A and B are shown apart, each in its own frame.
Chain A
Amino acid sequence: MNVSFDDLNKAFENRVRLGIMSALAVNDSLDFTSLKEFLNVTDGNLATHIKKLEQEEFVEVEKSFINNKPNTSYSMTPKGKKAFEEHLKVLETIIKSQK
């Protein structure tokens, strides 16, 4: 297979976004606090990166109330899942071809 660096999804260039996608790939859904703890980032930082992934329609948001407190949970869309898997495949191919 002939792949180039251009095939890598620009949305995943950032480590935080890559981290969000990795965590959501193995969890049906995660709330904001859990994601923040896994990634070790600030509220603002995480919010910015989630927004970006939302715009790409890779991540969807579900807002609800638990014990009268607002709870926001995030999950991966089918589109996001596909993009993430393709990204992984390209990464793998690049590394293999350079060995």
Chain B
Amino acid sequence: MKEEQDYIQDIAEIRSMMERSSKFLSLSGWAGVLAGVYALIGAWVAFSIFEFHPNELFYAYPDLINIILTATGVLFLALISALMDSRRKAQKQDKKAWNATSRRLVASMAVPLLIGGVLIMLLISNGLLGLVAPLTLLFYGFALYNAGSFTIKEVRIMGFVQMILGLLNVVFITYGLLFWAIGFGLVHIVYGIYMHFRYKR
């Protein structure tokens, strides 16, 4: 016959298993802070070095390849940091980072990001550079909103923040790069610091 302590332990195990098997938790605040820092550096490079100041819907800019390469570099670094961080954390908890929950997390983000990416490339090819910043914010917001079902709930809030920034950016199209730097830079850093203290990871 089991003791009362055993039943309390049973309930704790049930709760922990439900969370572990449905939510991806192997991501630390550091990945967020790093992604934010890369984004701020990227925005600064685009603004100061390449003098990219998208302040109208049809903004003409000759060396677009520089900006695309900068943006790709930021994305690449952020993804690498997130992957390495997840692996490190999963190893520490003696789990595999690539499991049923992380697969679902990635799948939930992939659809809005891919569709958004294609739309943005179509807009770029039509010269609508002013819409790039607000639409990357919006679609990234959709992706985070989706991902919130498969990881900690704060990710969903961050999704909302990105969407609101994206919408505001459509209203104030002059400040595209600034909104982009706030969304991808500042918001990530704030989120990362919050995660670090809230979840001690």
Give A contacts to B, CB under 8 Å: 5, 13, 15, 18-19, 22-23, 25-27, 30-31, 34, 37-40, 88, 91-92, 94-95, 98
Closest to A90 in B: B7
What are 5 sample pairs from A and B whose C-beta atoms fall under 8 A apart? A13-B2, A23-B20, A23-B21, A38-B21, A88-B14
Chain A residues with CB below 8 A from B1, complex form = 5
Instruction: Compute how far the CA of A67 lies from the CA of B190 in the bound complex, rounded to whole angstroms.
Output: 43
Closest to B8 in A: A95
Chain A residues with CB below 8 A from B4, complex form = 94-95, 98
Chain B residues with CB below 8 A from A40, complex form = 94
Q: B110-135: contact bitstring with A at CB < 8 Å (1 yes, 0 no)?
A: 00000000000000000000000000
Q: Is B95 an interface residue (CB 8 A)?
A: yes
Instruction: Compute how far the CA of A95 lies from the CA of B10 in the bound complex, rounded to whole angstroms.
Output: 11
Chain B residues with CB below 8 A from A39, complex form = 17
Chain B residues with CB below 8 A from A91, complex form = 7, 10-11
11 further interface pairs, Cβ-Cβ under 8 Å (given A22-B13, A95-B8) = A5-B2, A13-B2, A15-B10, A23-B18, A26-B18, A27-B100, A34-B21, A38-B20, A40-B94, A95-B4, A98-B4
Interface of A is mostly: helix
Chain B residues with CB below 8 A from A31, complex form = 100
Chain A residues with CB below 8 A from B96, complex form = 37
**Which positions 166-187 of chain B face chain A at CB distance < 8 Å?**
none
Instruction: Compute how far the CA of A50 lies from the CA of B186 in the bound complex, rounded to whole angstroms.
Output: 48
- The 10 lowest CB-CB distance pairs between A and B, nearest first, are A22-B17, A23-B21, A34-B100, A26-B22, A22-B14, A26-B18, A38-B21, A19-B17, A22-B18, A98-B4
Closest to A15 in B: B13
- Is A22 touching B7 in the complex (CB atoms < 8 A)? no
**Which positions 10-66 of chain B face chain A at CB distance < 8 Å?**
10-11, 13-15, 17-18, 20-22
- Given contacts A94-B4, A95-B7, A98-B4, are A18 and B100 in contact (CB under 8 A)? no
- Is B10 touching A23 in the complex (CB atoms < 8 A)? no
Chain A residues with CB below 8 A from B21, complex form = 22-23, 26-27, 30, 34, 38
